A and B are shown apart, each in its own frame.
Chain A
Amino acid sequence: MRSRVFVAAIAAVALGVVAATASAGQQRAQANKLTVWLQVDAQSGWPEIVAAANTQFQQDHPGWSVDVQYQNWTDHLQKFDATLAGGNSPDVIEMGNTEMTKYMAAGAFAPLDKTTFDNSAKWLAGLAKSGNYGGKTYGVPYYAGSRVATYRTDLFAKAGIKKLPTSLAELTTAAKKLMATGNGKGFSPVYVGGEDWYVAMAFVYDYGGTIARTQGGRWYGALDSPRAIKGLTAYKNFFLAASRASKTNDGTKPNPYDVYAQGSAAVIVGPSWYSCCVGAKYKTTTAQFVLPSHIKGQSMPGFLGGSDLAVPVTSANKSLGADWIKDFTSTSSEKALRAKGNIPNTTALLGSSINERAAARSWFVPTAKHWVDVENGNILKNMLGQILTGKLTVKQAASSASDNITSVLNGA
C-alpha cells in the first residue's frame, strides 16, 4: 500500500515529464500512410473537399493512403508538442494564423518552396505573412474568414425592422425592438458570449484602440488607452442591452449556432460558415450582414482569422506532406472552400461575398512571438468577464490586463 501510494504520487507527476523527455526513438514511419491534422471546422463544414484532396493525392502517389485526424483548437498545440518530443508527429498540420510565429521561431516546421503551390504569387497578403519567417515560407495559406452577423429575417420583420442597421446605435435600437417582441426569457436579440474576445476586440479596434503596440523592439499592452477603454465600454453597454448569453461564455460551449437553431437568438456573430448549422427550421429565414461600426455607414472591423498548413520538421514524409498541401490548396479546392462561405487563400479568386466585404475592414492580433501565450493564458477573456460581471471597472480590468499583456509579450 505504502509503496503504491508513493509510486502513484511520484509517477503521476513524473509521467508527463517522461513523455516530454522520451527520445524520438520509437518514431517509425507508418508504411505508406500520410498523417494529416486538420481542425474540426473541416470535418463539420467541408469534409468532401478534404476527400477530394485525398483522392487526388492517392492518384499521384499510388499505394499511399491519407489518415486525416481532426483536432480541437483548445488542445491541438499540446498534442503537437508531445509528438515533437516523442515521435509520431503528423506529416501535415493545420495551424491558426495567430499560432504560427512561436513555432516557426522555434524551428518546428520544414521550409517549403513557395513557387510550387497554386496561386502563390497572389496569396492573401496577411495570411502569407503569417506563414513567413525570416524570409522563408513555412506555412501555406489555407483559408481565411472574417466575422459576420447571421440573422433571422422573420424576427426582424416581426419586430418591424425594415432596413438593416447601418450603425452601432441602430443595431442597439434593433436589439431593443427584438427584445420587446417577446421571444421567451432566455432570448438574445444579438447572442454574443460575454468573453467572446473576437467580438469584443472588434469594438476596441472600431474606436481606434489596439491590443498592443510595439516600440523600440518592446511590446506594450494598449488596452488601457483612452480609445480602447471607449471601445470596451461600448462593448459592455452593447452586451448588456442585446445579449442574454453567459457573461463568462467565450462563444464555444454552447456553439452560438446551436443557440440560434434552438430559437433563442435573432442574431449571432461569428464566421460566415455559421450559416451551415442554423437548423432546418430556420434555413429559409436566415441571412447575413456585416456588423456596423459606431460611425454610420462604416462596417465594424472584424477579426481576420485564418489557417495555414505546415509540414513539421519531425515528419518522415516531408515532400509528400508538401504534395498533399498542394492538392488541398489547389485552385479547385480553394474555389470549393469559397463556395462554403470562406475567404479563399488568393486574391485571384476573391469576389464580393458578404465575408469578403467584411474582410475589407479587419483587425489582427499583435504579431508578437509570444502572442499565443496571451491567448492561451485567457488574459482577454478574463478581463471581459471582470468587466461584464462588474467585478472591476472597465478601466481597472483593462489596465491590469494591459500590464499582463506587456509582460507576456516581452517573454517574461
Chain B
Amino acid sequence: MAQAEGTAVAAGASWPRRRRLSRDRILRGSVPYVLILPVVAAIGAILGYPLYSLVRLSLQHYGLFELIRHQGQWVGLDNFASVLRDPVFWHTLIRTVVFTAVNVALTIGLGTLIALLLTRVSAWARVLLTGGLVLVWATPVVVAVQIWYWMTNYQNGVLNFVLTRLRIGDFFQHDWYATTFSQLGLTTTLVVWGALPFVAISVYASLSQVPHELVEAAEIDGARPWRIFMDVTLPILRPILRIVTSLSSIWDFGVFTQPFLLITQSHIHPGNYLMGIYLFEEGYVKTDFGRGAAISLLMLLMVAAMSVFYVRKMVRMGDGE
C-alpha cells in the first residue's frame, strides 16, 4: 500500500483527491484505537499505575522512617532476595498450597453435590435451599467470622455444648484455637461455607443443560446413577467446573480476611501463616513496606500463573461459540 501511495505522490496529477482519501483512511484506521483509548486509560490508571508503584516500592527499603519522609531508599533486588531466603516464606507457601487444595476440593465437591440435590428436590424445597444459599452469599465475611467465633467460644460456645450433648466426646471447654491444624480447619469451614453458594448455583445452572433424553437413554440401557454421572453429566459440567476451580484456587490462595479475623491478631505467628497473612505481617505489622511489596509481587506472579489457565479456558470457550 505504501508503494501505491508513493507512486501517486510521484505522479502528482491527482494530488488533492488522493490526500483527502488518505486522510480518510487514517481517520478510519484510527477509529478502533480511539475507541479503545478510554479502556486503556482506565486500565492504566487503576491497574498500571498501582502496579508500577508496587514494583518501584519492592525495589526500595521503605520502613517507618522512609514512610514519614515519603522517600524510599533504592536497594535493587535485596527485598526479593531476603524473602526468597526466608524459610518462613517457603513454609508458608507449602502450607498455603495445601490449604488451597483442601479448600478448593471441598468447595467444588460439596457445591456439586448441592447442585445435584437441587435438581432432585421438589419445587418448594429448591426455593428454600436456593434462598439459604443466597443468604449465605449475602452474609458479610466480618459478620460470619463473629458468628463462627461465638459458636466455637471456649467458655460457652454452642459447638462444644452440642458435641458434648451428642455424646461425641467431652468437649467441655475444648479449645478450638489451640493448634494450627484446628485454627486452619475452622478457617476452612468458614471459607468453604462462604464459597458454596457461588459454586452450587453455577453448577446447578449448568446442570440444567444436561439433556433429559441422554439421561433417560442411559437409564434404559441399564446404567447405574454413578455411571450416568461420570459418563453423561460430568462431560457437560466439565467447562464450568474448570472455571469455578480456577477461580476458587485464585481466591483461596490469597485469602486474608477469614483467617486474619478468626485466628485473630494475637494468635497469628509464623507457624500458622497463610500467604496473605505473611504479606500483612511482614509489610504492615513490621512496617517494612518494601519487603511487603516484594512478597505481594511474588504472590501476584503465582496468581497470574494460575489465571493463565483460567483465561485460556475462557478464550477457548469463546472461540467455540
Contacts and interface: CB of A to CB of B under 8 A. Distances in A.
Given A5-B307, A248-B267, A17 B293 contact: yes
Contacts of A376: 285-286
B57 A20 contact: yes
A195 interface: yes
Contact of B178 (A105, A108, A385): A385
Given A78-B284, A313-B68, A377 B178 contact: no
Given A108-B68, A389-B178, A21 B254 contact: no
Given A244-B173, A379-B269, A381-B267, A13 B300 contact: yes
25 contacts: A2-B314, A5-B307, A7-B43, A9-B304, A11-B46, A18-B53, A20-B57, A21-B53, A74-B266, A78-B284, A84-B64, A85-B70, A195-B266, A246-B154, A246-B173, A246-B177, A250-B267, A264-B155, A377-B269, A377-B285, A378-B265, A378-B267, A381-B267, A381-B269, A382-B269
A242 B62 CA distance: 47
B64 A102 contact: yes
A314 interface: yes
Contacts, number: 144
Given A2-B314, A17-B296, A20-B289, 4 more contacts: A185-B173, A186-B156, A381-B267, A382-B271
Contacts of B311: 2
B175 A247 contact: yes
A78 B292 CA distance: 14
Contact of A186 (B172, B177, B264): B172
A191 B62 CA distance: 43
Contact of B303 (A9, A17, A379): A9
Contacts of A379: 269
A379 B285 CA distance: 14
Contacts of B177: 246, 248
A246 B175 contact: yes
A42 interface: no
B250 interface: yes
Contact of A85 (B67, B175, B250, B300): B67
Given A106-B65, A254-B155, A9 B250 contact: yes
A252 interface: yes
A170 interface: no
Contacts of A9: 250, 254, 300, 303-304, 307
A107 B285 contact: no
B287 A81 contact: yes
Contacts of A195: 266
A180 interface: no
Nearest to B177: A248
Contacts of A15: 50
Contacts of A78: 284-285
Contacts of A280: none
B153 to A, nearest CB: 8
B277 to A, nearest CB: 12
